[in-house]
């Protein structure tokens, strides 16, 4: 009996050990709570350092791990570090950094920090270090090309391929994918056309409603019967996330709009959040502005609207006001793609996320 018991204990130990090493890296990384996703936005011809241009580096560190710090390093072709920055207060979450192409002071490669790095192949590395011991917990890296032949300045920002940012909630991301398909958005489209189609789809299909006051609303997505499709879609996005094709932000403020997306209803805060979800879903950087709407009668109700970065420039969009006035003679695209000066005429900015 003792012999059999020892064999069972040994077998259990071997099975546990095998499960750790046989699990894919993705599964182990999530369980340990370290780096979940890592993307680098770069143009087709590479990255050209200079004024008004930068390399966008994003990563998500799963917050279930212990206190840690995140370190960003960029190495040249010889393996020498030319740039380093450390976020010592990182406990997990979304890491977003813009590198303009200049080396750090006293860098390992001995390159002057007053000049931009030279042309060549570089490796961008994100690492998570234990704040207690300083030991390496996890790391991921991506290759990139620095080239003076690549577009510079705002043209460089416009040329850079921005990976999609999904919420990480399978149901929300699945609904966003179906909406973008309904809006006939293709990956080959320019950012402005993607935003235009999202804006038009929301104007026509989304409704402004104070649903907190009660009422019955039609459900457009039957999520309970779409479990298989949702799981299949999540499997494909997980694969893209592993390969640097997209990233999850796990933004609770966006994820909680699931109810509104199902029913195509919402107030200004909901519609602004959905607009951001859809833009980010197709690789367009967008965010939410909050403050007050300046009515002609002098009243200033609290309000939320959006900004989106298109072709390297920031524009403002108020899809909720468009939804409320659609069909009342105002016309479609009335609040579409406004400059800051134009937006200031009717919007008082208080916060921009």
Task: Give the start-to-end residue ranges of the domains of the chain.
Answer: 24-159, 165-352
Fold classification of 165-352 is C8orf32 fold (3.10.620)
Q: Are 200 and 278 in contact (CB under 8 A)?
A: no
- Asked if the model's pLDDT at residue 21 lies above 50, the reply is no
Show the tokens assigned to 92: 């997990």
Q: What architecture (CATH level 2) is domain 24-159?
A: Sandwich (2.60)
C-alpha dist (Å) from residue 250 to 22, 35, 228, 234: 27, 13, 22, 14
State the pLDDT at residue 333. Answer: 85
* Model confidence, pTM: 0.86
State the pLDDT at residue 133. Answer: 80
Q: What is the pLDDT of residues 227-262, one digit of tens each?
A: 999 999 999 999 999 999 999 999 999 999 999 999
Angle 236-242-248 from CA coordinates, rounded to 5°? 80
Show the tokens assigned to 262: 């199902």
Q: Which of 86-95, 122-131, 169-178, 307-316 has the highest mean pLDDT?
A: 169-178
Distant-in-sequence, close-in-space partners of 240: CB < 8 Å, separation ≥ 6: 246
Nearest alpha-carbon partner for 123 in 78, 71, 86, 161: 78
Q: Are 246 and 165 in contact (CB under 8 A)?
A: yes
Q: Are 83 and 107 in contact (CB under 8 A)?
A: yes
What is the percentage of the chain residues whose pLDDT exceeds 70? Answer: 87
């Amino acid at each position: 009996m003792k012999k059999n018991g020892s064999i069972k204990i040994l077998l259990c130990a071997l099975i546990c050990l095998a499960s750790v090493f046989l699990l894919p890296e993705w599964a182990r990384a999530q369980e340990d709570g370290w780096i979940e996703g890592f993307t680098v936005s770069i143009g087709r011809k590479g990255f050209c350092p200079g004024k008004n241009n930068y390399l966008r580096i994003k990563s998500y560190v799963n917050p279930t791990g212990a206190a840690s710090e995140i370190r960003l390093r960029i190495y040249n072709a010889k393996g020498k570090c030319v740039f380093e920055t450390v976020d010592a207060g990182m406990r997990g979450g979304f890491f977003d950094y813009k590198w303009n192409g200049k080396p750090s002071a006293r860098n390992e490669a001995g390159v002057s920090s007053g000049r931009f790095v030279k042309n060549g192949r570089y490796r961008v590395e994100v690492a998570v270090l234990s704040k207690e011991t300083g030991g390496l917990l996890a790391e991921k890296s991506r290759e990139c090309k620095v080239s003076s032949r690549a577009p510079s300045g705002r043209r460089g920002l416009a040329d850079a391929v921005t990976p999609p940012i999904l919420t990480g909630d399978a149901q929300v991301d699945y609904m966003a994918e179906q909406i973008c398909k309904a809006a006939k958005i293709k990956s080959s489209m320019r950012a402005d056309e993607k935003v235009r189609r999202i804006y038009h789809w929301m104007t026509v299909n989304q409704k402004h409603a104070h649903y907190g006051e009660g009422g019955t609303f039609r459900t457009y997505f039957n999520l309970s019967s779409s479990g298989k499709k949702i799981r299949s879609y999540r499997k494909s996005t997980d694969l893209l996330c592993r390969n640097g094709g997209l990233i999850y932000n796990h933004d609770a403020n966006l994820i909680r709009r699931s109810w509104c997306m199902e029913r195509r209803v919402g107030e200004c805060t909901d519609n602004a959040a959905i607009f951001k979800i859809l833009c980010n879903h197709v690789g367009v950087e967008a965010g939410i502005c909050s403050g007050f709407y300046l009515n002609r009668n002098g009243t200033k109700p609290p309000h939320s609207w959006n900004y989106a970065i298109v072709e390297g420039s920031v524009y403002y969009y108020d899809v909720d006001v468009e939804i409320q006035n659609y069909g009342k003679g105002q016309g479609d695209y009335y609040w579409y793609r406004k400059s800051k000066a134009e937006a200031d005429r009717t919007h008082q900015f208080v916060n921009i996320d």
